[in-house]
Amino acid sequence: MSNAKELREKLMMKERKGAATFSPETLKEADDFAAGYKTFLDNARTEREAVAYVKKLAEDNGFVPFEQDKQYNPGDRIYIINREKAIGLAVIGKNGTANGVRLAIAHIDSPRIDLKPNPLYQDGGLGLLKSHYYGGIKKYQWTTVPLALHGRVVKLDGTTVDIRLGENDDEECFIITDLLPHLDKEDKPVRKAIDPENMNILIGSYPFDDSDEKDLIALNIMKLLNDRYGITEDDFLSAELNFCPAYKTRDIGFDRSMIGGYGHDDKCCAYPSVMAAIDTKVPDCTCITYLTDKEETGSDGNTGMQSDFLRYFIYDLAKADGNEGYRVLSKSKCLSADVNAAFDPSYASAYEQKNCSYVNEGVVISKYTGHGGKYDTSDASAEFMGEIRAMLERDGVKWQIGELGKVDVGGGGTIAKYVANMNVDVVDLGVAVLNMHAPMEVISKPDLYMAYKAFYGLFN
């Protein structure tokens, strides 16, 4: 061996080798893990559905509802739910909260198409719903794809109706139309290609009868909705109705190495962090997986990460142990579990190739997110980076570093800064995603599995 070769191996970073560094056993484990994830993703389109799914999964694995002021013992498993849109799973540690808690926090909301409060109308012989998009989307991607309806309607008498329609092949689905290319010759920047006020959802075309009454198509649709769900047009005013892509989660590629699906951001971090909590028996420190809502719109609101819900839960756990809540937070450590943008060779110019993340290079650590001169982000310290790096190496978890894209090209944020504001050590760690925020996003199976191993390592 030449001196340079020897020295290079000792001193320089290893070259990226993609999936070649995973053993056949690891690839098999990753494929098995992906099977459970795909089922989760198909059943957890919205935050409400994700909470319901995780609650069931947790109960099946011995988690019981949290009770305030109850004394818990090492190995006890509890869950807590915030307004059916966020959920926390905790496994009580040998030392309880005395040395802080270990947190994995992911979000379970994903970009989608919401309805306006007063959505129903008809025009040009078509029944339509006015929409208001949720989260950061390239609007043109969301036209002409099959959409399914998810959500809840609260009626005047206080009863609720849950709707999930369009996911099964034998059910009707919905669509946002787009102008044919023949009549769309005007050059427009991508951001202006679709006017959000044109993102109306096509829901029918038959009139109720042939009378001279007005808006008979809208009336017919309301009759169908009333027959099926017992709702009236006024009930739209107290409803949360979300249209999500009706795509089934699928394997991608001849080698089936990747997964295509709606809502990888951030359910591909939520699911591994849930499984890590489920597989944790009696940790040293109490560990908590928390799945939050509203990340895609800035983490505001009482179900978002800026709410005090998780803080109060930790205070309650601390109190039950005879500890001060703020002291527990000050000793806590967190992996902010969120996705990063995987390098896409077709759009290479948006990335800085020495510092972006790649498919099959393992779980991505983002030291900071934000934009411009590191605005609006929590920049993890060298010390905490060192600690997490050592933990991943100890556990044989393949990982990589990832900046979102070139400096000043754009940017993005995560919940990490809100966790950091609670005086918790935190860094972003998650899965690299291709075409993030599109109706169908892509991740790799081994990267998903490495995320699970990272969260498990934090808890154990």
Residues near Mn ion (CB under 5 A):
265-266, 338
When the beta carbons of 97 and 242 are compared against Mn ion, the nearer one is 242
* 3 state DSSP class of 184: coil
Please report where in the chains the tokens 């389109």 appear, as a residue.
45
CB 111 → Mn ion: shortest distance, Å? 7
Rounded to whole angstroms, the Cα distance separating 96 from 287 reads: 9
When the beta carbons of 338 and 403 are compared against Mn ion, the nearer one is 338
CB-CB contact of 201 with 143 (8 Å): no
Please report where in the chains the tokens 């990589």 appear, as a residue.
400
Indicate the helix (H) or strand (E) that contains 119.
Answer: strand 112-123
Indicate the helix (H) or strand (E) that contains 88.
Answer: strand 86-91
Dihedral angle of Cα 276, 278, 283, 286, to the nearest 10 degrees: 90
When the beta carbons of 315 and 343 are compared against Mn ion, the nearer one is 343
**Helix H segments across 143-215?**
none
When the beta carbons of 291 and 314 are compared against Mn ion, the nearer one is 291
CB 379 → Mn ion: shortest distance, Å? 18
CB 263 → Mn ion: shortest distance, Å? 10
When the beta carbons of 97 and 340 are compared against Mn ion, the nearer one is 340
Closest CA to 380 of 368, 392, 363: 368
Query: Which residue's Cβ lies closest to Mn ion?
Result: 266
CB 204 → Mn ion: shortest distance, Å? 32
DSSP string, 35-84: HHHHHHHHH-SSHHHHHHHHHHHHHHTT-EE--TT----TT-EEEEEETT
| Whole-Å CA distances, 31 to 251, 262, 324, 325, 338 | 10, 19, 43, 40, 21
When the beta carbons of 326 and 375 are compared against Mn ion, the nearer one is 375
CB 176 → Mn ion: shortest distance, Å? 20
CB 162 → Mn ion: shortest distance, Å? 25
CB 273 → Mn ion: shortest distance, Å? 13
When the beta carbons of 266 and 425 are compared against Mn ion, the nearer one is 266
**Helix H segments across 235-357?**
264-278, 309-320, 325-330
